[in-house]
A and B are shown apart, each in its own frame.
Chain A
């Protein structure tokens, strides 16, 4: 009888576990390759699959091979040899001298790079690895709604759906062994022996005694089998779970962006890309982070995600309005006792004259005491980047903010002038602090 079975509906991705093992093993190399490949790609491309190339060295598998002494394959250098180093290759003899070519090497793969495709999630995981919000502290734990079921060992009572088969069967096996439960095979053997003796002709006295003793043994074995069950209630074990509260730290990220007329399309685009990356990072790594989007011209307003990234607006520039708005929202919704407060500000560094001083005053007096971390990103065009090569020179806001940075260690300033700057700057801003 032949069956046709449609297995196409069966789950695929059976080797996903193996793939994760592989990624884990070659992690260091993959990390390097991902960073390298991200360096010259646009932020919008970060959420795409990506071809990764790593050297085969890290993925080499041990293998059995012939004894080098008897097969003549040597990859070591004898002491006293001054000419060669391990790994040297002997040059091909010049053509025409008639050296007979040897057979091809026995490696199937050679020394090529190993290339494979990584999914978006895998790339993001690697990219955001070792990045974190700095100075995050556990805020009040009052009635955290977050609870997680955690395994809590094995119990002797529980619901049948949580039965632990492996443990149960192991216990049953042990008990059967300890109480000498006769196997079915043993009983069958006894029975066969008995049948054989009973069929014997003529029946001697000796045989009769044997039959009697066999019958007794058989009855005993059968009784014991009944008495020592295959599985007994005392064998049964259940997986146990307990509910545990998960400590959470609440955090809010204020994204302040300058969308005034002085920011050209290019600058706005760079700023948006930076925030997109930040948004992706927070969404991925911190489930409990609130993000507040504030954009400003001469006037600041809180907007939603979509408007922040996609809508256009123009006008004059007063940076301090954004800070005002941020403080206002913070006072309304995010008390410092419950929330870690972060801010990221992007601007081209130009503001109404005199406003920079007001910004510095506000930062020093009101904003910085609240904030765990404040990142200021200045978007320059490449020409300006050359002019302001040194950290000390810069536009008005930059120079003003440098004074703040000197006072507060958790205030960071960075410059971006081209799309390729975004990834390194982002990594630098959110680098995990060294363990200490």
Chain B
């Protein structure tokens, strides 16, 4: 019998790595996908809000409308009206995926499979 990759909801970098390797095996070996090299970054919820207000871009010029967007997203998030995105992907080479630190391990595995391995 094969061993499970993880059993807990908590994640750490070793588990992430294990899960990533397993996903990679399926994506590249079985499905023969052609993907960019991946760079996976873990960010906190505040940083996710920051990324939101710059429309997901790692760098953006300064403008008041982004401030407004941030104020709104923050208010909604704090009031519990909206949850944050589980991940943001920048489809460049290398492909950068931001994982939210609050995700469970299952979520992280799902996000990596979804975001990091798109042909």
List the interface of chain A (C-beta within 8 A of B).
Answer: 1-8, 10, 12-15, 17-25, 51, 59, 61, 114-117
> A19-B71, A21-B62 in contact; A2/B20 too (CB < 8 A)?
yes
CB distance from A156 to the nearest CB of B (A): 32
A5 touches B53 (CB 8 A): no
Kindly state whether residue B46 has any CB partner on chain A within 8 Å. yes
CA distance A23 to B66 in the complex (A): 11
Most buried by B among A15, A23, A59: A15
Given contacts A2-B40, A4-B17, A23-B67, 20 further A-B contacts (CB under 8 A): A2-B37, A3-B40, A4-B13, A4-B40, A4-B42, A5-B39, A5-B41, A6-B13, A12-B44, A12-B46, A14-B47, A15-B67, A18-B63, A19-B71, A21-B63, A21-B67, A22-B70, A116-B71, A116-B75, A117-B78
Contact check, A7 vs B62: say whether CB atoms are below 8 A apart.
no
Select which of B16, B20, B62 is within 8 A of A17 by beta carbon: B62
B103 within 8 A of A: no
- Complex A-B: 22 CB contacts under 8 Å: A1-B37, A2-B38, A3-B94, A4-B13, A4-B20, A5-B39, A6-B13, A7-B41, A7-B42, A7-B43, A8-B47, A12-B47, A14-B47, A15-B50, A15-B66, A18-B66, A19-B70, A21-B62, A22-B64, A22-B68, A22-B71, A114-B71
- Bound-complex Cα distance A18 to B62 (A): 6
- Taking the closest CB of chain A, its distance from the CB of B11, in whole angstroms, is 11
Establish whether residues B64 and A24, one from each chain, have CB atoms under 8 Å apart when the complex forms: yes
Assuming A2-B39, A4-B17, A15-B70, is B64 touching A21 (CB within 8 A)?
A: yes
- Give the shortest distance, in Å, between A259 (CB) and chain B (any CB): 41
Distance between Cα atoms of A59 and B65 in the complex (Å): 8
B71 partner residues in chain A, CB cutoff 8 A: 19, 22, 114, 116-117
In whole angstroms, what is the CA distance A49 to B49 when docked?
A: 19
> B95 — nearest CB in chain A belongs to which residue?
A2
B contact residues, total (Cβ < 8 Å): 35
A-chain residues with CB within 8 Å of residue B98 when the two chains form the complex: 7
Contact among B41, B67, B75 with A20 in the assembled complex (CB-CB below 8 Å): B67
Contact digits for B47-79, partner A, Cβ 8 Å, 1 yes 0 no: 101100110000000111111101110110010
Residues B50 and A12 in contact, CB atoms below 8 Å apart: yes
Q: Determine whether the beta carbon of B64 is less than 8 Å from that of A8.
A: no
Closest Cβ of chain A: how far from B55's Cβ, in Å? Answer: 11
A383–B43 alpha-carbon span in the complex (Å): 59
Contact of A5 with B40 in the complex, beta carbons under 8 Å: yes
**Residues of B close to A4: CB separation below 8 A:** 13, 16-17, 20, 40-42
Known: A12-B50, A13-B46. A18 touches B70 (CB 8 A): yes
Q: Please report the C-alpha to C-alpha distance between residue A51 and residue B40 in the assembled complex, in whole angstroms.
A: 36
For A2, the chain B residues whose CB sits under 8 A away are 20, 24, 37-40
Contacts of B49 in A (CB 8 A): 15
Q: CA of A20 to CA of B68 in the docked complex: distance in angstroms?
A: 10
Q: Are A8 and B50 in contact (CB under 8 A)?
A: no
**Which chain B residues numbered 7 to 28 have a C-beta less than 8 Å away from chain A?**
13, 16-17, 20, 24
Nearest-neighbour CB distance to chain A for B36, whole angstroms, equals: 11
- Give the residue name and chain of the B residue nearest to A1 (CB): B37
